[in-house]
């Protein structure tokens, strides 16, 4: 199996995605739903994954620089408010930029507290998560409540970006989809959802993945930023400005979280509303862990965690009421059986039993219902995070000194 | 020609200690110059000053004849000085090339690293000095000797002409030491100047041209390696203060206090790091375990103390099987423990001294009464430790962090000794503390021995081992490979046992593993 | 300040005072920038604070905040970040309300009914927190991530799934569990206050949970500071390796600390269940978990410190209602004051602790020098 580990990361993830599609296609044919690989599902998944992705990438910069950032959520909240404010005044681009700056300010605050003052990173993050909603509520009361449709907890409606369809590619994929070939057509249809009617902001978010990978692994700044997370003392002994790079990482982290917030306002909700981030910052953090602190891994995690929700958008409506979401239970059961087999071969008895047990629960659940309850898709991402961590946490390795305080000249 | 390095009258004080006291050192260009001295003699401090990591309080530094002052390692690097630290400064999850170029990355413009150019330069440096590494290997896949090579290359990559190596052999196995020495000879042949810090005399004599001996922060002498023997060096290093090798009359009794039978301990990767070890320590006996670090001593201690579980075999205290007992049960049964790393395993740095004194003894008098912590009596007792063991602190309420290393160690020794243990596990009890505190610690251990304490002593300081122990066993690759009588052995011979070198010679007379134990009978 | 004792006391007070001043300045700045009169706003808050009714409001608000603070502090003492107090108390509150309503049907003495409700809450809180502890101990999953995920699973999943099943009147405006029988309600404590004050008006009632909070605070203080178990807990939090070598098994302590934290977290929702609504409904109070973390941070995990912190936050919260009605300023300024105070305080604490450390090192080295000198003198005279 060494050829597997020798493949580049993107190829491995692509292979995993193809296998995942195969699994979805099979389950789909058993369960009598067509939504699992629907174009609309893919579209919704991608759209809803962007905030998680951006927050996760934000976490990537910060943790690679050795600073744990659970303030992502708070910085995202700042992004939502500033995004709405910017969009009201200067249109979508203004919203994007203002969201970025608002989040970056949150990042700066976190950097000052943790890097300069050595405050515990979790504590500072919690404080920012408490500060952000209060601040945005206050600002809304001052700025939005006077305007039509605005209030202490809500902004007037704002316009988002235009969307576009990648020409040729979408048509080509559409043609393959219509051929109705098992698995292949499903993949094509799903993939078409990724390239059709995509907003510029979505594209922008997706482009952050290769950009971040390139920046962190191919440039001087990236290498120096990463040494802050791996072994800052070694960096210091070679003259690297550790404080400066930590600041940089945390501020970029805030900026990306702010972008995530702006995305929610501009692309998902069409307005600012208090509490609209609903923990996506934390899910982003989980996607970071799931993705083993790699840009492409964060993307994979974001897509996985937003899939149930994306599906629920097409699954809970007049024609459908959770049949497809119910089918996801079967997907989970089968995936866990796979985990159990893998654990059996790796001789981990406890993992076999536990994976089998959870698989059995999911299967029984699947068999005993016809439709899933509407709360299930909201909960699934969080449960998925725990399940993934449960079976994979020992294989994941983050930056070695993330979370630890660093002070210059102390060895 | 001006010498490569000239240090004149360097003095460095720390609170309560003078680490370097008017030190003079001259290193000629193109030589291997060893700096020798016991632990705590001030070698590492001196090198940190030379490498710009710490400023000297007084004194002058000249590099190739020019007077310099270093504000940071960057200044030293600019002057062509590079340092290979004792604790390797590498990022485990980065590749060799990333580690090497960090801080002086070649770029293609726009901040993009030119990895091809970097690898080409690396190959150039490598072939010039005969050092080979694969630039794409991740550090955590490398053996320790290879990692050290990466460190040396890292320094050479920056064009260093003077290399400082801080105790580079401490973590190496003999073959790796040999390889390192070959590398160093090659470097020297190519014109590099090498400063080599060590306290292993045999190695120092083998590799160096000149040797400067430092004792208690002062330069004692600079000699040519060809003019001296290991014995001469040892005398220079320890001077008159040589710990009296005799621990006095033997107090060894026939009561077995601690017994280890066929103990095997596996590490996380399921390798046997302690392999079928058996030993006995009697009341009134000090059993020394010699061995190069990483040969299973730590794991053996952990299994005896109970912080790591044994895979097979058993541990008995006073005949009672404690193999599966909890740490607390063992401590309450009279097991004292002086851990090897006092900051990691010995102290609560942010807690007051009296809480530190209670650590490990918190379940009984004088620190607690049943369910309750007895603050008054705890503080009282800590005061006693403070005066009896000469722990220099303003009171018992300051945090342990505020104390110097020696005083922290005396506090640990004091808390263990005043609990009157039956068995004491003492790991490197005098590591990194000054000479005065060292003598205090030794005296305390000797006194307790006279009262019947059974001590298992682990130390990297061979003089300490030979001086204190009634019996010495040698641990090598997880096994006990020799039992030696300290009165008949010198550090050099002991060292050759530790590296495994003496084993093949002595195999004819070497007793079989089953008979190996501290049991003199 | 040359007197070391004065200096120590000064340093201890410096952090909170500095933080308070900083928070006031920032809030004043925000108020002025947004066109409000800061002096007027602070005066409104101040004069309102002198009223007895405000004091009752403050205590009512401080009670659950303090309990949440203790829950968080138990984790912090062990270097564990129980971010999940939020989910733990909501789940516990829900379970307690369901059990309480179920028990209406049985003939029970009131105190048994009450005890069953409180017991259920504590057990559920402990179980939910213990799950995170178990994940950490057996799988090494960071408790920050697991507690956050479990928060969402508790509120968005379990409660959302089960609440519809226990609703008996689907037409009611506020959907929730059935009201718990009056025999199980905790008595109000107005009488306790009225011993020293005038009669409390405006329908304010001091929650009976206040007494529970006081008891919890005392137990917390005594157990943590005066018992062997508390010593084990603190030492394991400060340095798990050293504590282990000293006989304190780290995994067991992690699990225990999480369970105890959850046990107290379960109580946070009790004022709602036993004094105010007597049911769990969609308006069940949220955000106390994160508030509790703030209280623990401000109060430095000490019972006394957290008392002050909870009273302060409780007071500010009860002021926001007045601001809403009276002042020209926005009530949300209170949230900003709380958050800036919190951030400023954690920074100030860190800053002061560095100064203190430096002081101690200096004093310890003086002690060493003195000892050296006296040894030299002793040697000379001998």
Q: Which pLDDT tens digit goes with each residue over A363-397?
A: 998 888 888 888 888 888 888 888 888 888 777 77
Q: Among C197, C81, C190, which Cα is nearest to C143's?
A: C81
Answer whether A409 touches C (CB < 8 Å): no
Domain edges within chain C: 37-329
Helix residue ranges per DSSP H, B32-133:
43-50, 73-78, 96-101, 115-129
CA angle C349, A123, C230 (to 5 degrees): 75
Q: Among B43, B457, B463, B436, which Cα is nearest to B230's?
A: B463
Q: Among C113, C108, C166, which Cα is nearest to C274's?
A: C113
Sign of the C-alpha dihedral, residues A106, A107, A108, A109?
Answer: positive
Q: Are B75 and A212 in contact (CB under 8 A)?
A: no
pLDDT exceeds cutoff 90 at B476? no
* Spatial distance between the Cα atoms of B126 and B124, rounded to a whole number of angstroms: 5
Please tell me which of the candidates C30, C140, C145 has its beta carbon nearest to residue A394.
C140
CB-count exposure of residue C337 (10 Å: 0-12, 13-18, 19+): buried
Q: Which residue has the higher pLDDT, B261 or B252?
A: B261
Which residues of chain B lie closer than 8 angstroms to C235, CB-CB? 348, 351, 355, 359, 362
* Spatial distance between the Cα atoms of B45 and B13, rounded to a whole number of angstroms: 10
Answer whether A289 touches C (CB < 8 Å): yes
Provide the strand spans (E) within C209-359: none
Q: Are B99 and B139 in contact (CB under 8 A)?
A: yes
Which residues of chain B lie closer than 8 angstroms to C76, CB-CB? none
* Spatial distance between the Cα atoms of C159 and B308, rounded to a whole number of angstroms: 42
The 3-state DSSP class for residue B320 equals strand
Sequence-distant (≥ 6) Cβ neighbours of residue B468 within 8 angstroms: B243, B247, B286, B288, B442, B445, B446, B457
Tell me the sheet residues that pair with B12.
B20
| pLDDT for the residue A302 | 93
The reply to whether residue A237 touches residue B83, judged by beta carbons under 8 angstroms, is: yes
Which residues of chain A lie closer than 8 angstroms to C351, CB-CB? 117
- Kindly list the averaged pLDDT for each block of 10 residues, start to end, along chain A of length 411: 69 84 82 78 88 97 95 96 94 94 96 91 89 89 82 85 77 79 78 79 92 95 95 88 95 97 93 89 89 92 89 78 84 90 86 91 89 84 87 79 75 48
Q: Among C222, C257, C227, which Cα is nearest to C240's?
A: C257
Domains of chain A: 35-316 (1.10.3470)
Find the closest chain A residue to C287 by CA distance.
Answer: A130
The 3-state DSSP class for residue A346 equals coil
* Spatial distance between the Cα atoms of B493 and B231, rounded to a whole number of angstroms: 12
The reply to whether residue C346 touches residue A137, judged by beta carbons under 8 angstroms, is: no
The reply to whether residue C332 touches residue A285, judged by beta carbons under 8 angstroms, is: no
- Taking 70 as the pLDDT cut, the residues of chain C under it are 1-4, 326-329, 365-382
Task: Tell me which H or E stretch contains A84.
Answer: helix A72-111
Q: Chain-centre distance of CA A408, in angstroms?
A: 33
Answer whether C234 touches B (CB < 8 Å): yes
The residue behind tokens 């002052």 is B69
| Mean pLDDT value of segment B442-455 | 89
**In angstroms, what is the C-alpha Rg of chain C?**
24
- CB count in 10 Å sphere of residue C166: 16
Is omega for the bond preceding A267 within 30 degrees of 0, making it cis? no
The CATH code belonging to domain C37-329 is 1.10.3470
Please tell me which of the candidates A221, A238, A399 has its beta carbon nearest to residue B111.
A221
CA separation, residue A59 to residues A68, A71, A265, A281, C290 (Å): 7, 9, 20, 9, 21
pLDDT tens figures, C239-283: 999 999 999 999 999 999 999 999 999 999 999 999 988 999 888
Query: What are the start and end residues of each CATH 3.40.50.300 domain in chain B?
Result: 5-241, 245-334+421-521
Which residues of chain C lie closer than 8 angstroms to A390, CB-CB? 135, 139, 141
The reply to whether residue C139 touches residue A394, judged by beta carbons under 8 angstroms, is: yes
CB-count exposure of residue B383 (10 Å: 0-12, 13-18, 19+): middle
- Report residue C328: phi and psi, to 5°: -80, -15
**For residue A254, what are its two tokens?**
């805030």
* Spatial distance between the Cα atoms of C68 and C72, rounded to a whole number of angstroms: 6
CATH superfamily of B245-334+421-521: P-loop containing nucleotide triphosphate hydrolases (3.40.50.300)
Sheet architecture: strand order including B454-458: B335-338, B423-427, B454-458, B286-290, B471-476, B479-484
Please tell me which of the candidates C83, C141, C153 has its beta carbon nearest to residue A393.
C141
| Mean pLDDT value of segment B126-132 | 80
| Alpha-carbon gap: C350 to the closest alpha carbon of chain A (Å) | 6
Which residues of chain B lie closer than 8 angstroms to A226, CB-CB? 91, 94
Strand B372-373 relative to strand B454-458, pairing: unpaired
Task: Tell me which H or E stretch contains A171.
Answer: helix A167-179
The reply to whether residue C230 touches residue B345, judged by beta carbons under 8 angstroms, is: no
pLDDT tens figures, B42-78: 888 888 889 888 888 889 999 998 899 988 888 888 8
Answer whether A390 touches C (CB < 8 Å): yes
* Spatial distance between the Cα atoms of C179 and C100, rounded to a whole number of angstroms: 8
- CB count in 10 Å sphere of residue C178: 18
Calculate the average pLDDT of chain B: 84
Answer whether A396 touches B (CB < 8 Å): no
Please tell me which of the candidates A221, A230, A397 has its beta carbon nearest to residue B91.
A230
The 3-state DSSP class for residue A339 equals helix
The residue behind tokens 């309480």 is C100
Q: Does domain B5-241 have CATH number 3.40.50.300?
A: yes
Chains near A (3 or more Cβ pairs under 8 Å) = B, C
* Spatial distance between the Cα atoms of B29 and A90, rounded to a whole number of angstroms: 68
* Spatial distance between the Cα atoms of B369 and B358, rounded to a whole number of angstroms: 13
Tell me the sheet residues that pair with B165.
B84, B196
Supply the angle between the helices C209-226 and C228-238 in degrees, to the nearest 10: 70
Residues 332-361 of B with CB under 8 A from C: 332, 337, 339, 344-351, 355, 358-361
Which residues of chain A lie closer than 8 angstroms to B91, CB-CB? 226-227, 230-231, 234, 400
The reply to whether residue C234 touches residue B326, judged by beta carbons under 8 angstroms, is: no
pLDDT tens figures, B362-416: 998 899 998 999 999 999 999 999 998 888 888 888 889 888 778 899 999 999 9
Q: Among A65, A44, A38, A69, which Cα is nearest to A56's?
A: A69
- Report residue B303: phi and psi, to 5°: -70, -35
The reply to whether residue C330 touches residue A279, judged by beta carbons under 8 angstroms, is: no
Please tell me which of the candidates B77, B94, B113 has its beta carbon nearest to residue A220.
B113
Sequence-distant (≥ 6) Cβ neighbours of residue C311 within 8 angstroms: C58, C59, C62
| Mean pLDDT value of segment B133-148 | 86
Residues 10-29 of C with CB under 8 A from B: none
| pLDDT for the residue A2 | 59
* Spatial distance between the Cα atoms of C206 and C192, rounded to a whole number of angstroms: 9
The reply to whether residue B373 touches residue C246, judged by beta carbons under 8 angstroms, is: no
The reply to whether residue A231 touches residue B91, judged by beta carbons under 8 angstroms, is: yes
Q: Are B100 and B157 in contact (CB under 8 A)?
A: yes
**For residue C95, what are its two tokens?**
């379970």
**For residue C40, what are its two tokens?**
């007027």
Chains near B (3 or more Cβ pairs under 8 Å) = A, C
pLDDT exceeds cutoff 80 at B38? no
Q: Are B367 and B361 in contact (CB under 8 A)?
A: yes
Please tell me which of the candidates A220, A236, A239 has its beta carbon nearest to residue B107.
A220
* Spatial distance between the Cα atoms of B408 and B431, rounded to a whole number of angstroms: 12
Tell me the sheet residues that pair with B112.
A219
The band of B434, judged by pLDDT with boundaries at 50, 70 and 90, is: low
Please tell me which of the candidates C228, C235, C245 has its beta carbon nearest to residue B368.
C228
Answer whether A70 touches C (CB < 8 Å): yes
Interface-testing mutation among B81, B103, B138, B270, with chain A (most A C-beta atoms within 10 A): B103
Strand B162-166 relative to strand B5-14, pairing: unpaired
**In angstroms, what is the C-alpha Rg of chain A?**
22
**For residue B94, what are its two tokens?**
């980065």
Percentage of chain B exceeding pLDDT 70:
90
The residue behind tokens 């199980």 is C184
CB-count exposure of residue C79 (10 Å: 0-12, 13-18, 19+): middle
Chains B and C: how many Cβ contacts under 8 Å? 117
Chains near C (3 or more Cβ pairs under 8 Å) = A, B
The reply to whether residue B331 touches residue C363, judged by beta carbons under 8 angstroms, is: no
Residues 460-519 of B with CB under 8 A from C: none
Predicted ipTM of the assembly:
0.85
- pTM score, two decimals? 0.86
| pLDDT for the residue A249 | 97
Find the closest chain C residue to B402 by CA distance.
Answer: C361
Range with lowest mean pLDDT among A144-148, B204-208, B495-499: B495-499
Find the closest chain A residue to C333 by CA distance.
Answer: A138
The reply to whether residue B346 touches residue C367, judged by beta carbons under 8 angstroms, is: no
Strand B193-198 relative to strand B210-215, pairing: unpaired
CA separation, residue C370 to residues A43, B12, B217, B353, B383 (Å): 76, 20, 21, 19, 17
Q: Among C214, C193, C217, which Cα is nearest to C205's?
A: C193
Which residues of chain A lie closer than 8 angstroms to C152, CB-CB? 279, 282, 378-379, 382
CB-count exposure of residue A340 (10 Å: 0-12, 13-18, 19+): buried
Q: Are C347 and C23 in contact (CB under 8 A)?
A: no
The reply to whether residue B16 touches residue C244, judged by beta carbons under 8 angstroms, is: no
Residues 372-401 of B with CB under 8 A from C: 372-373, 375, 390, 392-394, 398-399, 401
Which residues of chain B lie closer than 8 angstroms to A240, CB-CB? 102-103
Chain B residues whose C-beta is within 8 A of a chain A C-beta are 53, 72-74, 77, 83, 85, 89-94, 98-99, 101-105, 107, 110-113, 154
* Spatial distance between the Cα atoms of A276 and A290, rounded to a whole number of angstroms: 24
Classify residue A265 by its DSSP letter. I
Please tell me which of the candidates B307, B328, B373 has its beta carbon nearest to residue C227.
B373
Chains A and B: how many Cβ contacts under 8 Å? 67
Which residues of chain A lie closer than 8 angstroms to C151, CB-CB? 279
| pLDDT for the residue B519 | 42
- CB count in 10 Å sphere of residue A174: 14
* Spatial distance between the Cα atoms of B61 and C195, rounded to a whole number of angstroms: 78
């Amino acid at each position: 199996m060494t050829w597997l580990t020798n493949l580049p990361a993107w190829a491995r993830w692509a292979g995993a995605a193809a296998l995942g599609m195969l699994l979805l296609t099979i389950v789909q044919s058993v369960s009598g739903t067509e939504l699992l690989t629907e174009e609309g599902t893919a579209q919704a998944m991608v759209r809803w994954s962007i905030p998680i992705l951006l927050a996760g990438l934000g976490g990537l910069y910060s943790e690679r620089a050795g600073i744990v950032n659970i303030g992502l959520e708070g910085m995202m909240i700042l992004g939502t408010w500033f995004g709405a404010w910017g969009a009201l005044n200067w249109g979508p681009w203004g919203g994007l930029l203002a969201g970025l700056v608002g989040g970056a300010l949150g990042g700066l605050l976190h950097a000052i507290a943790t890097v300069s003052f050595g405050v515990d990173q979790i504590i500072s993050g919690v404080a920012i998560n408490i500060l952000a909603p209060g601040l945005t509520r206050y600002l809304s009361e001052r700025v939005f409540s006077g305007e039509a449709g605005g209030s202490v907890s809500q902004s007037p409606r704002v316009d988002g970006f235009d969307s576009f369809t990648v020409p040729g590619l979408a048509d080509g994929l559409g043609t393959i989809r219509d051929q109705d070939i098992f698995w292949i057509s499903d993949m094509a249809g799903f993939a078409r959802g990724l390239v059709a009617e995509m907003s510029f902001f979505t594209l922008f978010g997706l482009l952050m993945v290769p950009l971040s990978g390139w920046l962190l692994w191919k440039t001087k700044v990236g290498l120096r930023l990463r040494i802050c997370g791996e072994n800052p003392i070694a960096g210091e002994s070679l003259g690297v400005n550790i404080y400066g790079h930590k600041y940089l990482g945390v501020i970029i982290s805030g900026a990306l979280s702010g972008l995530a917030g702006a995305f929610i306002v501009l692309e998902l909700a069409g307005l600012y509303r208090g509490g609209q981030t609903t923990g996506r910052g934390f899910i982003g953090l989980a996607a970071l862990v799931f993705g083993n602190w790699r840009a492409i891994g964060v993307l994979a995690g974001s897509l996985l965690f937003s899939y149930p929700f994306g599906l629920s958008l097409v699954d809970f409506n007049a024609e459908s009421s959770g049949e497809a979401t119910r089918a996801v239970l079967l997907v989970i059961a089968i995936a866990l059986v796979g985990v159990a087999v893998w654990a059996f071969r790796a001789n981990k008895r406890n993992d076999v039993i536990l994976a089998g047990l959870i698989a059995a629960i999911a299967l029984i659940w699947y068999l005993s219902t016809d439709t899933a309850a509407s709360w299930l898709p909201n909960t699934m991402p969080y449960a998925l995070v725990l399940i993934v961590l449960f079976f994979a946490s020992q294989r994941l390795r983050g930056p070695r000194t993330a979370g630890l305080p660093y002070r210059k000249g102390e060895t | 020609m001006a010498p490569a390095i000239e240090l004149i009258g360097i003095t460095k004080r720390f609170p309560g200690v003078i680490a370097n006291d008017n030190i003079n050192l001259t290193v000629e260009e193109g030589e291997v110059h060893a700096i020798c001295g016991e632990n705590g003699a001030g070698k590492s401090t001196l090198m940190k000053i030379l490498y710009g990591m710490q400023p000297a309080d007084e004194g002058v530094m000249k590099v190739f004849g020019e007077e310099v002052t270093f504000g940071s390692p960057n200044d030293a690097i600019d002057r062509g000085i590079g340092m290979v630290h004792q604790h390797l400064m590498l990022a485990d999850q980065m590749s060799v090339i990333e580690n090497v170029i960090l801080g002086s990355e070649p770029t293609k413009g726009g901040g993009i690293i030119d990895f091809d150019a970097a690898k080409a330069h690396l190959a150039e440096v490598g072939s010039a000095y005969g050092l080979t590494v694969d630039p794409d290997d991740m550090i955590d896949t490398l053996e320790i000797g290879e990692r050290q090579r990466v460190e040396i290359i890292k320094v050479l990559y920056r064009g260093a002409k003077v290399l400082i190596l801080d105790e580079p052999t401490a973590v190496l196995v003999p073959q790796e030491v040999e390889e390192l020495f070959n590398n160093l000879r090659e470097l020297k042949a190519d014109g590099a100047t090498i400063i080599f810090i060590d306290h292993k005399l045999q190695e120092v004599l083998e590799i160096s041209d000149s040797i400067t001996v430092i004792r208690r922060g002062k330069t004692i002498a600079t000699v040519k390696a060809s003019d001296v023997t290991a014995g001469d060096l040892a005398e220079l290093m320890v001077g008159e203060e040589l710990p009296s090798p005799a621990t006095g009359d033997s107090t060894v009794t026939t009561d077995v206090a601690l017994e280890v039978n066929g103990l095997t301990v596996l590490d996380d990767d399921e390798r046997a790091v302690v392999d079928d070890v058996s030993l006995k320590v009697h009341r009134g006996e000090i059993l020394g375990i010699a061995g190069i670090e990483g040969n299973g001593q730590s794991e053996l201690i952990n299994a005896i103390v109970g912080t790591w579980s044994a895979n097979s075999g058993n541990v008995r205290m006073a005949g009672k099987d404690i193999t599966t007992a909890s740490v607390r049960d063992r401590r309450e049964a009279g097991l004292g423990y002086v851990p090897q790393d006092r900051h990691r395993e010995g102290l609560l740095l942010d807690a007051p001294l009296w809480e530190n004194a209670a650590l490990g003894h918190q379940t009984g008098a004088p620190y607690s009464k049943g369910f309750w912590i007895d603050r008054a009596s705890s503080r009282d007792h800590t005061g006693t430790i403070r005066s009896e063991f000469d722990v220099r602190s303003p009171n018992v309420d300051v945090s342990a962090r505020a104390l110097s290393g020696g005083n922290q160690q005396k506090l640990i020794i004091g808390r263990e000794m005043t609990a009157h243990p039956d068995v004491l596990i003492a790991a490197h009890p005098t590591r990194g503390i000054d000479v005065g505190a060292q003598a205090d610690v030794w005296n305390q251990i000797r006194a307790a021995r006279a009262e019947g304490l059974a001590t298992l002593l682990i130390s990297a300081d061979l003089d300490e081992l030979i001086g204190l122990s009634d019996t010495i066993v040698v641990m090598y690759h997880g096994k006990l490979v020799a039992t030696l009588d300290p009165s008949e052995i010198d550090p050099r011979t002991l060292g050759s046992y530790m590296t495994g070198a003496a084993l093949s010679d002595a195999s004819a007379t070497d007793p079989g593993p089953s008979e190996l134990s501290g049991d003199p009978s | 300040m040359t007197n070391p004792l004065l200096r120590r006391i000064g340093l201890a007070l410096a952090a909170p005072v500095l933080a308070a001043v900083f928070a006031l300045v920032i809030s004043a700045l925000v108020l002025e920038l947004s066109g409000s009169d800061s002096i007027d706003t602070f005066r409104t808050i101040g004069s309102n604070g002198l009223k007895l009714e405000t004091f009752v409001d403050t205590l009512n608000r401080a009670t659950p905040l303090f309990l949440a603070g203790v829950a968080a502090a138990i984790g912090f003492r062990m270097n564990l970040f129980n971010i999940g107090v939020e989910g733990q108390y909501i789940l516990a509150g829900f379970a307690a309300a369901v059990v309480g309503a179920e028990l209406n049907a049985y003939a029970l003495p009131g105190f048994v009914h009450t005890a069953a409700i409180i017991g259920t809450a504590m057990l559920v809180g402990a179980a939910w927190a213990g799950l995170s502890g178990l994940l950490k101990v057996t799988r090494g999953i960071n408790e920050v991530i697991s507690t956050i995920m479990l928060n969402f699973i508790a509120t968005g999943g379990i409660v959302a799934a089960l609440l519809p099943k226990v609703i008996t009147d689907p037409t009611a405006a506020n959907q929730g569990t059935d009201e718990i029988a009056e025999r199980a309600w905790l008595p109000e404590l107005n009488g306790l206050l009225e011993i020293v004050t005038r009669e409390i008006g405006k329908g304010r009632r001091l929650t009976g949970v206040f007494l529970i909070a006081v008891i919890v605070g005392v137990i917390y203080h005594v157990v943590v500071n005066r018992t062997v178990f508390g010593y084990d807990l603190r030492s394991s939090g400060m340095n798990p390796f050293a504590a282990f070598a000293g006989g304190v098994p780290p995994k067991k302590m992690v699990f225990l600390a999480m369970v105890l934290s959850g046990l107290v977290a379960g109580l946070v929702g009790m004022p709602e269940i036993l004094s105010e609504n007597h049911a769990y409904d969609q308006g069940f109070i949220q955000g106390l978990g994160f508030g509790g973390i703030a209280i623990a941070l401000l109060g430095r995990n000490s019972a006394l410190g957290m008392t002050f912190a909870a009273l302060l936050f409780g007071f500010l919260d009860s002021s926001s209602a007045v601001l809403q009605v009276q002042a020209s300023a926005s009530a949300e300024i209170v949230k900003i004051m709380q958050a800036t105070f919190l951030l400023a305080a954690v920074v100030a604490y860190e800053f002061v602790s560095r100064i203190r450390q430096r002081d101690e090192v200096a004093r310890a080295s003086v002690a060493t020098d003195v000892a050296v000198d006296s040894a030299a003198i002793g040697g000379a005279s001998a």
